[in-house]
């Protein structure tokens, strides 16, 4: 008796020219897109040159994005960007220079470079963001990226799929960031190790695309290979104006076999805060306690999209950032920045006492634009709060959604919008 296939099994089979694949199989697959950035591209370029080939397999399927340390923060980062820029120009790759770029995982969907049914690999762990579009997207090492640039193929082990079902409707100020933090808090940072996480349910149907990108982005924080959403009307409304090539919508079979099915009542989930030093150290805002902060960061590939800035603007409008708090807001792309400007959000942020940065990963990985000193605390909409992630190993990072981060900036301590509304 034949057993149906999950989304990720169907995508892998299609890219391996097979009728069916099963979890655990090692498969060679062709890729639709290969991605790297200013940290990872120079390593991949060096390995590509060692292979001895002169040209990449398809320049329109290789994308390089400077986003971690640009505009360049120092000489070493400038040298990294120069290596990447020279290779991209010489090879004719898809490349976004400062002024048109943004955080890679924000701009690739914006530009229509990732579409439903695609298989995408990137030399960045949060490449899994594109699962929000019904694509298989996963992070790999720079050496794998070099081979993929050369051959257009990569090997992977077919993962099992865990289905997460979110029942009910979301409460006020609760979004994708809260659902994924709650989930990681429940299953742990290795609860979906090398599995695909498939997100379904009434609460998921309610989520905007921005909320879905946030959830898919943090699947890797549960150890997952990928986080995927089924393509629905919201997905198609996002994809259709952006797509410039054919794509295939992939749905799971009704009798698809899942390794586990985990169900939650989303209506009972509060805004979440992940305390140091793991994303899994999540708890509801009502149980966080009185924790003063020195800094609030709103942005990143997790929560730097327009909806995120709109939430922050709703909280900050007509209010002031606490006197001893630094509030740093970083749009995820030039398009997001421009949309925020046209909606009056930038004015709201500046009048509230926040600073607004050019699109960049910035402080998320301890790059720049908000490095923490010893003993300082930051509430951030980013995706990781490991020891030393944002600066000193003696600093602390707390993860939350944009509304909570904005409210905390006003309060001078971690707290939710309900405390100032």
d(CA 212, CA 242): 17
Nearest-5° angle of CA 386, CA 395, CA 291? Answer: 100
DSSP label at 275? Answer: P
- E strand or H helix at 377, and its extent? strand 377-380
Per-residue confidence at 2, pLDDT binned at 50, 70, 90?
A: low
Count how many Cα atoms sit within 13 Å of the Cα of residue 75 in the half-sphere of its side chain.
0
Dihedral angle over CA of 132, 69, 51, 130, nearest 10: 0
DSSP 93-159: -EE--TTT-B-HHHHHHHTT-S-TT-EEEESSGGGGGGGGGT-EEEE--HHHHHHHHHHSEEEEEPP
- E strand or H helix at 28, and its extent? strand 26-30
Each residue's pLDDT tens digit, 388-402: 999 999 999 999 999
Each residue's pLDDT tens digit, 236-275: 999 999 999 999 999 999 999 999 999 999 999 999 999 9
**High-pLDDT (> 70) share of the chain, %:** 100
CATH class as words, domain 7-263: alpha beta
Query: Burial level of 137, CB count in 10 A (0-12/13-18/19+)?
Result: buried
Each residue's pLDDT tens digit, 325-343: 999 999 999 999 999 999 9
Dihedral angle over CA of 90, 91, 96, 99, nearest 10: 10
Residue 35 pLDDT exceeds 90: yes
Predicted structure pTM score: 0.94
d(CA 274, CA 281): 5
DSSP 41-100: HHHHHHHHHHHT-SS-S-GGGEEEE--SSTTT-SHHHHHHHHHHHHHHHHHT-EE--TTT
Contact of 275 with 414, CB cutoff 8 Å: no
Q: Which CATH architecture has domain 273-416?
A: 2-Layer Sandwich (3.30)
Query: Burial level of 254, CB count in 10 A (0-12/13-18/19+)?
Result: exposed
Q: What is the mean pLDDT of the segment spanning 211-231?
A: 97
Q: What is the mean pLDDT of the segment spanning 151-174?
A: 96
Each residue's pLDDT tens digit, 53-75: 899 999 999 999 999 998 999 99
Q: Can you give the pLDDT at residue 1?
A: 52
d(CA 165, CA 172): 20
- Indicate where the chain has its CATH 3.30.499.10 domain(s): 7-263, 273-416
């Amino acid at each position: 008796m034949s057993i149906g296939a999950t989304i990720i099994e169907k995508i892998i089979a299609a890219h391996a020219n097979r009728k069916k694949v099963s979890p655990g199989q090692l498969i060679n697959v062709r890729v639709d897109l290969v991605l790297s950035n200013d940290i990872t591209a120079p390593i991949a370029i060096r390995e590509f040159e060692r292979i001895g080939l002169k040209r990449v397999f398809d320049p329109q399927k290789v994308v390089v994005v400077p986003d971690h340390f640009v505009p360049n923060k120092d000489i070493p980062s400038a040298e990294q960007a120069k290596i990447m820029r020279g290779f991209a120009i010489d090879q004719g790759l898809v490349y976004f220079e400062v002024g048109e770029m943004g955080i890679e995982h924000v701009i690739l969907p914006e530009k229509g470079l990732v579409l439903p049914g695609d298989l995408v690999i990137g030399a960045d762990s949060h490449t899994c963001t594109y699962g929000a579009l019904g694509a298989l997207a996963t992070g790999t090492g720079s050496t794998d990226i070099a081979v993929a640039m050369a051959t257009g193929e990569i090997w992977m082990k077919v993962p099992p799929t865990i289905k997460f079902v979110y029942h009910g409707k979301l409460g006020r100020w609760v979004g994708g960031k809260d659902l994924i933090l709650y989930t990681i808090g429940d299953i742990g940072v290795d609860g979906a190790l090398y599995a695909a996480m498939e997100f379904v349910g009434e609460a998921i149907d309610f989520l905007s695309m921005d909320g879905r990108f946030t959830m898919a982005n943090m699947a890797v924080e549960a150890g997952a290979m990928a986080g995927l959403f089924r393509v629905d009307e919201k997905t198609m409304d996002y994809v259709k104006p952006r797509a410039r090539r054919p794509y295939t919508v992939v749905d799971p079979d009704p009798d698809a076999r899942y390794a586990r099915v985990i169900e939650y009542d989303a209506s009972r989930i509060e805004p979440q805060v992940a305390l140091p030093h793991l994303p899994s150290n999540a708890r509801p805002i009502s149980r966080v306690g009185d924790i003063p902060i020195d800094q609030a960061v709103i942005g990143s590939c997790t929560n730097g999209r327009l909806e995120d800035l709109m939430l922050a603007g709703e909280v900050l409008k007509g209010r002031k950032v606490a006197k001893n708090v630094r509030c740093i807001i970083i749009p995820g792309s030039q398009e997001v920045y421009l949309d925020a400007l046209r909606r009056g959000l930038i004015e709201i942020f500046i009048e509230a006492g926040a600073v607004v940065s050019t699109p960049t990963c910035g402080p998320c990985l301890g790059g720049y634009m908000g490095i923490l000193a010893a003993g300082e605390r930051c509430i951030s909409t980013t995706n990781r709060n490991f020891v030393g992630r944002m600066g000193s190993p003696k600093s602390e990072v707390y993860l939350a959604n944009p509304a909570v981060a904005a409210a905390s900036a006003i309060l001078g301590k971690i707290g939710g919008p309900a405390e100032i509304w």
